Amino acid sequence: MRLLLVEDYRPVRESLTKGLREAGFAVDATGDGEEGLWFARGNDYDVIVLDLMLPGLDGLSILKKLRAEGRQNHVLILTAKDALDDRVTGLDSGADDYLVKPFAFQELLARVRALVRRSYRTKNPLLEVQDLRIDLTVQRVWRGPEEIVLTPREYALLEYLAMRAGQVVSRTDIWEHVYEFNSSASSNVVDVYIGYVRKKIDRPDRPSLIDTIRGRGYTLGAEP
Amino acid sequence: MTSLRTRLLAGTTGGMLLLLAVLSLIVYGTIRRALFEQFDAGLEATAHLFAASIEQDTNEVELGLDLEQMPEFRDTKHETYYQLWGADEIVVGKSSSLNSTMLWRIPDGVGSPAFANSRGAGDRPLRAIGLRFVPRASDSEERLPPRADLPTMSLTVARDATELHGQLRFLRWLLLTATTAVTAVSFLIATIVVRHGLVPLNAMAAQIGAIRADDLTTRINAQHTPAEIAPIRDRLNDLLSRLQASFQRERRFTADVAHELRTPLAGIRSTIEVTLTRARDRQEYQAVLSDCLEIVQNMQAMVSNLLMLARLDTRQMVFRQDRIALADLVDTCWQPFAERALQRQIAFESHVPGDLTCLCDPDNLAMAVSNLLANACEYTNDGGRIWVAAHAAGGHVELTISNTGCSLHREQIPQVFDCFWRGDSSRKDAGVHCGLGLALVQKLITALGGSVTAELQPGGVFVVRTSLGGSSTSLP
């Protein structure tokens, strides 16, 4: 899942970026409001984590602009202001959730995951596609009784496909939701990773769980 | 405690009593004099009539009238007596009703009568007139005025004055009673009037009493306030407004402090928590610890600044007065920033004359100058310039610190001395600078007896002008 973090305080920004990446998210991070808006306009982020007090353009203004442009990204506001008014204003401006600083990283992670599930209209943190099971909370994957060990990037790809199980997912979509903005990867890399994931989750005697739809992309768990 | 009510009551009642007493005395005196004049006129007429009826033939005195038959002498209510003395002060006649009592001879000047009060039989008050006259010769119709060479006679006519004294006593009683009664009634009226008059004060006191410390939005009601209390009410309302504003400022400041402390705390917490999610290598732990240390140091600096601000606000600081060489002070203060400035290619110039001194507290002035240099260093563009100048002017030292690269707008300049205010661009390294530096400088310089202003010059040059007292251009 791809996530935008707009936070001007360097220690928070850097630690959250690191923590979220380690948790399997593709994270774009910036400390400037204008740049944050530019990122948000240019990519389809699953979740935007937005600080309110920002140089350039403040968080609420970014949020209002995004909503005015009809963008449906899930937005979690980080704020050091905990007055009721500030929280109400944040939610009323179109935020989906908020967190008051200082916060527990695990709570932020849980809230971000919940927002991701909401993005894909699933409330159950356990995804099942045929006999493939993905536990979104602990980020572990099983095929039948057997656990499959994936690299973070492989997991991210599978998770995204699983969230949109049954749908045709384009290479661009995968690329946009799994890779960070400044990653050097091109969409060809997606095909390479699809290959890695297939190798790990497919069984030799069965058809692949991931189907290639020529010219359009991939689909996970489509009914044969 | 002096009661307004007691004072008003004592004033009005006492004043009324004094007025009535004076009035009574005047009335009494006037009536008394009139009554006496009337009484004396009657007495005098009787005496003259009496004197006129006396004839003298060589040696014999003759009473021309049957005096005892005169109505005055027969009036039992105003009993009248007489006694007559001859030339040799020998009693030549007296009222038979006097029996053995003797009237006294009133020594007076010849011609004009004299009056006196006395007591008669049964201790009754008597009013008497004394008259000296030359009796008419029996062969003459004319009475001669008293002369030294003529024999004179003395006459005392006394009349019972019981009624007169009774009338005066009654008058005294009447006036005393009236005064007492009027005073008592006026006291009652004053009590009611004062109580009624003080109702607005009591009402205001009740309103003031109802104002709670945690709700300063209440104001004292303006309705039905008398003109005398209105200024008090207005001043109190003004005071409440000022208090409310001051409390709001305090509350906002506290909220700002909380906010500013939360941000670095969030930094420490997320840095540590993310690090603890898995095992890391040694270098990573070291990096995290030094990051956290930096945040803690910044927080510590911020807390020190806050404490300093609080002390300046409550005037808890004691300042020394030393002669300070400004050029040295500026150089010393610049040292901590020199290396960083060099890295960023910022040029630093000090144009402070070597012999310029001022009288100030060295530690606190150094703190203010360091803060100004830190601020300049922070906001100067890479490759920019910072320059310090100073000169003596009219017993003051004007120290200016200027830097290039200021991105503030002209209308933002007055805000730079506000607590927690930061220009937008300065937030790039949020958390490191909490916007207290210039606020502290202003408070500090003001406490040191100087003044500080900021201005924006063309080309993004930010100038802070500090004026300090006790200038001198010769080092001791």
Confidence of residue A5 (pLDDT cuts 50, 70, 90): very high
The mean pLDDT value for B140-152 works out to: 65
Q: Report the candidate in B258, B431, B298 with the shortest Cα–Cα distance to residue A13.
A: B431
Of the candidates A17, A91, A3, A99, which has an alpha carbon nearest to the alpha carbon of residue A51? Answer: A99
pLDDT band at B58 (very low <50, low <70, confident <90, very high): low
Chain B stretch 370-429, residues whose beta carbon is closer than 8 A to a beta carbon of chain A: 424-429
Residue B258 scores a pLDDT above 50: yes
- Which DSSP helix (H) or strand (E) runs through B451? strand B451-457
Q: How confident is the model at residue B32 (pLDDT cuts 50, 70, 90)?
A: very high
Confidence of residue B232 (pLDDT cuts 50, 70, 90): confident
* Residues 6+ positions from B28 with CB-CB distance below 8 Å: B168, B171, B172, B175
- Looking at this predicted complex, what is its ipTM? 0.82
The per-residue pLDDT for B138 is 64
Judge contact between B325 and B291, C-beta under 8 A.
no
CA distances from A207 to A6, A202, A212, A223 (A): 43, 8, 12, 11
Answer yes or no: do A9 and B264 touch at CB < 8 A: yes
Contact A10 B275 (CB under 8 A): no
CATH annotation of B4-168: 3.30.450
- CA A149/CA A25 separation, integer angstroms: 17
User: What value does the mean pLDDT take over residues B122-149?
Assistant: 73
* Rg over CA atoms, chain B: 53
The fraction of chain A above a pLDDT of 70, given in percent, is: 96
At residue A35, the pLDDT reads 92
DSSP per-residue codes, B72-104: HHH-STT-EEEEEE-TTS-EEEE-GGGTT--PP
Q: Where are the beta strands (DSSP E) in B2-135?
A: 54-57, 60-63, 80-85, 91-94, 114-119, 125-133
Q: Which of A16, A22, A80 sits opposite B262 (nearest CB)?
A: A80
Pairwise pLDDT comparison (B318 vs B474), residue with the higher score? B318
Mutate to test the interface with B, among A15, A51, A87, A100 (most CBs of B within 10 A): A15
Q: What fold characterizes domain A2-119? A: Rossmann fold (3.40.50)
Q: Where along chain A do its domains lie?
A: 2-119, 126-220
Specify the pLDDT at position B425. Answer: 46
Q: How confident is the model at residue B192 (pLDDT cuts 50, 70, 90)?
A: very high
Interface test with A, best of B248, B251, B273 (most A CBs within 10 A): B273
Report yes or no: A158 and A174 within 8 Å, Cβ to Cβ: no
What whole-number distance in Å separates Cα of residue B278 and Cα of residue A106?
13
**What was the pLDDT predicted at B108?**
60
Model pLDDT for residues A61-118, shown as the tens digit of each residue: 999 999 999 998 999 998 887 777 777 888 888 899 999 889 999 999 999 999 988 8
In this structure, of A38-52, A99-113, B176-190, B401-415, the range with the lowest mean pLDDT score is B401-415
For residue A53, list chain B residues with Cβ-Cβ distance below 8 A: 427, 430
Cβ atoms A43, A26 nearer than 8 A: no
The pLDDT tens digits for B418-444 are 877 766 544 444 445 567 788 889 888
- What's the gap in Å between the CA of A63 and the closest CA on chain B? 18
Establish whether domains A2-119 and A126-220 are of one fold.
no
**Chain B neighbors of A12, CB-CB under 8 A:** 263, 266-267, 270-271
Map out the domains of chain B as residue ranges: 4-168, 230-313, 322-469
Contacts of B424 in chain A (CB under 8 A): 55-56
Mean pLDDT of A50-54: 87
Average pLDDT over residues B407-425: 77
Dmax over CA atoms of chain A, in Å, equals 60
Answer yes or no: is pLDDT of B367 > 50.
Answer: yes
Per-residue pLDDT of A167-217, as tens digits, reads 888 888 888 888 777 666 666 788 888 888 888 888 777 778 888 888 888
CA distance A80 to A93: 17
pTM: 0.63
B259:A102 CB<8 A: no
Q: Which of A31, A101, A105 sits opposite B262 (nearest CB)?
A: A101
Please report the pLDDT score of residue B121 as a whole number.
Answer: 72
Name the closest residue on chain B to residue A99, using Cα atoms.
B266
Q: Which residues of A touch B269 (CB under 8 A)?
A: 102-105
Instruction: Identify the architecture of domain B322-469 in CATH.
Output: 2-Layer Sandwich (3.30)
Going by pLDDT thresholds of 50, 70 and 90, the confidence category of residue A17 is very high
Q: Do residue B263 and residue A22 have CB atoms under 8 angstroms apart?
A: no
Among positive and negative, which fits the CA dihedral A180, A185, A191, A195?
negative
Top-tier CATH class for A126-220: mainly alpha
What amino acid occupies position B422?
R
**Mutate which of A5, A6, A7, A10 to disrupt the B interface (most B C-beta within 10 Å)?**
A10
Fold classification of B230-313 (topology level): Helix Hairpins (1.10.287)
Mean pLDDT of all residues belonging to chain B: 83
pLDDT at position B476, please?
45
Give tens-digit pLDDT for A134-156.
Answer: 988 888 899 888 898 988 888 88
